[in-house]
Structure 1
Amino acid sequence: MTRARALDTKRIENMRLEKGETRHEWRDGKTPNLVLRVGRRDKVFILLVRCPGERDPTRLKIGTFPKTTLERAREVAAEWNAMIDRGLDPRQEAKRCEREAAVDERRTFRSALTDYIVWLPNKTRNRHAKKDAVALGTEFLDPNRNGWIDKALADVTKAEVGVLIENIRGRGVPGRALEALELIKGFFAWANGAARYEGYGLPGNVTGNPVADITPASMELARGIRTRTLDVAELRAYWSASTAMAYPDGPFYRLVVLTGGRRRAELEGIRWSEIDIGDKLWTIPKERVKHGNELLDLYVVLTDEAIALLEELRRGQPEGWGDCIFSVTNGETPYTGYDLDEFRARVVEEFGKLVPGSTMDSFWLHDMRRVVQTALSKLGVPDVIADYINGHRKRRDYNQDRFIAPCREAMRQFTDRLMLVLDGSAAGFRAADPNSKE
């Protein structure tokens, strides 16, 4: 039998079918079992071989020329020939490799963290699930910030996590660094859970958690104690700016104050079905209350001013409006797009009109909680009542009172004095001296 000539790239390029042919095969004289099958449309490298356990020869496709080069085809053919000599079927080996690759991919940090982010809403306390998911994705799933994003989870080191946290602090946001550390510790604790660690290729002991012994103190990270509050001029600027802003922003910022310094998440989700106009009461479901597991549903008393603002909003909403009070989708979903930077700029502008030549420090909406709590204290409201109005964690005792009557009286005192402060009739909230600026 004449030995087949070794194929070469130039020869393959020039191969054509004879008239009337639909397919022709040329063997490679250099690599056993390697065949080039030339058809009307393409030229395909195949391995013509009898696989283990089969009686007849099988054509195993290697690739199409020129995408698969002759050199690559010979490499694959040699690998498959060796497998067959060992009694292995290349097709089954390919499937096994694909399965192993899928498992390896699942065990990467990127894949595991993505699983965790999807799982976050299932946490027992998940009010911050959306915010936490954004923070984790921003800090840990950005290849420009995380160079080990596609590393096997089991191979991620304490040093690598530490450097990433240090880099966050290096951007001038130590609070964000502390938050990132707490979040990544929560992720690794989750991944090392009894029902998960094997799936992620972890050893199931403390060595599978590289951040187990990293503490905020060891990284010199501490949560800052914020003391910012707004003085009388700043509060007047806040109110003036919010009054000038259209719905939903302006009314939202005013209602924050009129409802006792409500947390943003609590007020964003406010619904008409939660409001009892007759009893002047707003019931926030415990699922939207920060300490809902202790406070349960939170009862927020509504003063005449708060009721008037809500009724004004109701009149401005067309027939068929949904349940959400603050919404840009006809009440179907709550609005969450408040631009605090824009609002701050408006407040600073109003402050400049009230106190020419002075500057105003930046503030957060959460600082209004400190404004209200401090004002209630100056008005002589007992701490237990002020704490409930603010929605603070409840002291562990047997008192299950919701303090509706005393809260109503306290909010009446606060709002009456607030209106006097805003129109300039009172210089501050000190009950004993209405002219005191304290």
Structure 2
Amino acid sequence: MTRARALRTERIEELRLKKDETRREWRDGKTPNLVVRVGRRDKVFILMVRCPGERDPTRLKIGTFPKTTLDRAREVAAEWNAMIERGLDPRKEAKRREREAAVDERRTFRSAMEDYIAWLPNRILNAHAAADARALRAEFLDPDRNGWIDKKIADVTKADVGQLIDDIRGRGVPGRALEALGLIKWFFVWANGPARYQGYGLPGNVTGNPVADVTPNVMQLVRGVRERSLDVAELRAYWRASLAMEYPDGPLYRLVLLTGGRRRDEVEGIRWSEIDIGKKLWIIPKERVKHGNELGALYVALTDEAIALLEELRRRQPEGWGDCVFSVTNGQTPYTGYGMDDFRARVEEEFRKLLPGSAMDRFWLHDLRRVVRTAMSKLGVPKEIAEYVIGHRKKKDYNQDRFVAPCRKAMRQFTDRLLQVLDGSAAGFGADNPDIDE
């Protein structure tokens, strides 16, 4: 019997069937049991071999030429021949490796963190679940920020986490770094829980938590008292920038201010079912209120300007729109895709137009709450009412009044003066002499 010649890529390309043939096989004289099978449509590398425990030879497909190269086919064939010599079936080994790969993938930090984020709404205190999920995705699931995202969770070290937290602080947001440390510590506690640690390949004790002993003091992270507010020129720039932005971003930023410096989570999650246009009232359910379990629902008095903005949004939304006021899914889910960096850049651009040569300090939406609270103090609004307007009240209080009427009056005072500040007819929020520069 003539020994088969070693196959060459050029020869495989030239192999053709005769007119009356539907299939033909050529052996490779270099690698035992390797065959290229030529059919009407394609050329396939196969290993013709008797697998352990089987009586008849089996054709094991390696791959289709030229996607699978000759060199690669020989590598696979040699590997499978070696398995068979050791009494292993390549098919069963492939399935076993697939299972192991699936387990390994599940045990990566990325996969575990995705599981944790999906679980967050189920925790007992879940008012901040959406905000926590956003922060976790931004800081720990962004490959540009987290270089160890695809490490096995068991291999993540204290140094890995520490460097990432330091990088966050290095961006000039120490408060965000402190928040991120708290979030990642809770994640590792969750991952090492009794029902989960084995699935993630963790020991289920303190050794499986690389940040168990990492405290804010260790990282030299201190929660500072933020004092940033927006002055008159900055407020005008903020308003102009929001007017230049289309739905949902621009109206969302304006509603934050027109409703008394509402928290971002409250405005982004606003539902039509929470709003009573006739009573000019927005009732935020306790599930979406900070400390809502202790404070209950929050009653927000809506001014004519806030109602006008909401009614305009309602008119523009097509028939069949869902309950979410701000949404890119036809009202089915709330909008969370706005970029604060983009908006901040727009505000800074408007600020430079107002005050050429000046620079505006970095700000956050939360800083508007100081604008509102300070303005109400200057306008003579009673402290208890001003605090309730921005969503502050004592956790334990026998007074269950919602202060709707006085809050409505306070919001009317604030909004009237705000509009004057924005159009330039008032230089500030001082009640006695609004023309004195503040």
Q: Secondary structure at the match of 2:365?
A: coil
The CA deviation string for residues 217-262 of structure 1, in whole angstroms up to 9 with x for no partner, is 2122233322122445655x36974897687677665554443222
**Which residue matches 1:36?**
35
Which range moved further: 327-336 or 208-217?
327-336
The CA deviation string for residues 331-368 of structure 1, in whole angstroms up to 9 with x for no partner, is 78766658343245435544x4xxx9876545433222
Find out whether 1:307 has 2:304 as its counterpart: yes
**Which residue matches 2:161?**
161
The CA deviation string for residues 91-138 of structure 1, in whole angstroms up to 9 with x for no partner, is 212211111112112212222223334444445555555554454444
Percent of aligned pairs with the same residue?
67
User: How do 1:9-20 residues align onto structure 2 when only pairs under 5 Å count?
Assistant: 9-10=7-8, 13=12, 20=20
Cα contact 1:232–1:421 (8 A) shared by 2:
yes
Supply the distance in 1 between the matched residues of 2:358 and 2:87 (Cα, whole angstroms).
Answer: 86
Distance 1:401 1:79, change over 3 A: same
AA aligned opposite 2:159: A
Cα contact 2:264–2:365 (8 A) shared by 1:
yes
**Which residue matches 1:5?**
3
Supply the distance in 1 between the matched residues of 2:255 and 2:76 (Cα, whole angstroms).
Answer: 71
Q: Secondary structure at the match of 2:300?
A: strand
Q: Report the Cα offset of residue 409 of structure 1.
A: 4.9
Find out whether 1:263 has 2:259 as its counterpart: no
Q: Report the Cα offset of residue 78 of structure 1.
A: 4.5
Q: Report the Cα offset of residue 202 of structure 1.
A: 1.3
Q: Secondary structure at the match of 1:392?
A: coil
**Structure 2 residue ranges without an equivalent (≥5):** none
Distance 1:383 1:228, change over 3 A: same
Q: Report the Cα offset of residue 388 of structure 1.
A: 1.8
Cα contact 1:242–1:251 (8 A) shared by 2:
no
Supply the distance in 1 between the matched residues of 2:372 and 2:126 (Cα, whole angstroms).
Answer: 27
Find out whether 1:341 has 2:340 as its counterpart: no
Cα contact 2:192–2:202 (8 A) shared by 1:
yes
The CA deviation string for residues 122-173 of structure 1, in whole angstroms up to 9 with x for no partner, is 4555555555445444443444443323222111111122223323333444
Q: Report the Cα offset of residue 48 of structure 1.
A: 3.3
**Which residue matches 1:429?**
430
Distance 1:230 1:101, change over 3 A: closer
Distance 1:111 1:7, change over 3 A: farther
User: How do 1:51-90 residues align onto structure 2 when only pairs under 5 Å count?
Assistant: 51-64=51-64, 73=73, 75-90=75-90
Cα contact 1:157–1:210 (8 A) shared by 2:
yes
Supply the distance in 2 between the matched residues of 1:313 and 1:258 (Cα, whole angstroms).
Answer: 11
AA aligned opposite 1:5: R
Q: Report the Cα offset of residue 370 of structure 1.
A: 0.9
Q: Secondary structure at the match of 1:300?
A: strand
Supply the distance in 1 between the matched residues of 2:333 and 2:400 (Cα, whole angstroms).
Answer: 33
Supply the distance in 1 between the matched residues of 2:417 and 2:66 (Cα, whole angstroms).
Answer: 84
Q: Secondary structure at the match of 1:9?
A: coil
Q: Secondary structure at the match of 2:168?
A: helix
Distance 1:276 1:107, change over 3 A: closer
The CA deviation string for residues 292-338 of structure 1, in whole angstroms up to 9 with x for no partner, is 22222211124xxx125524763783697756666789978766658
Q: Secondary structure at the match of 2:261?
A: coil
**Which residue matches 2:178?**
178
Supply the distance in 1 between the matched residues of 2:239 and 2:25 (Cα, whole angstroms).
Answer: 86
Supply the distance in 1 between the matched residues of 2:411 and 2:352 (Cα, whole angstroms).
Answer: 27
Q: Secondary structure at the match of 1:60?
A: strand
Distance 1:143 1:21, change over 3 A: same
User: How do 1:130-279 residues align onto structure 2 when only pairs under 5 Å count?
Assistant: 132-231=132-231, 237=236, 241=240, 255-279=255-279
Superposed CA RMSD in Å reads 4.3
Q: Report the Cα offset of residue 12 of structure 1.
A: 5.7
Alignment TM-score, normalising by the size of structure 1? 0.77
Q: Secondary structure at the match of 2:389?
A: helix
Distance 1:141 1:251, change over 3 A: closer
Distance 1:71 1:25, change over 3 A: same
Distance 1:119 1:369, change over 3 A: same
Cα contact 1:284–1:297 (8 A) shared by 2:
yes
**Structure 1 residue ranges without an equivalent (≥5):** none
AA aligned opposite 2:52: P
Aligned residues: 426
Distance 1:204 1:362, change over 3 A: closer
Q: Secondary structure at the match of 1:51?
A: coil
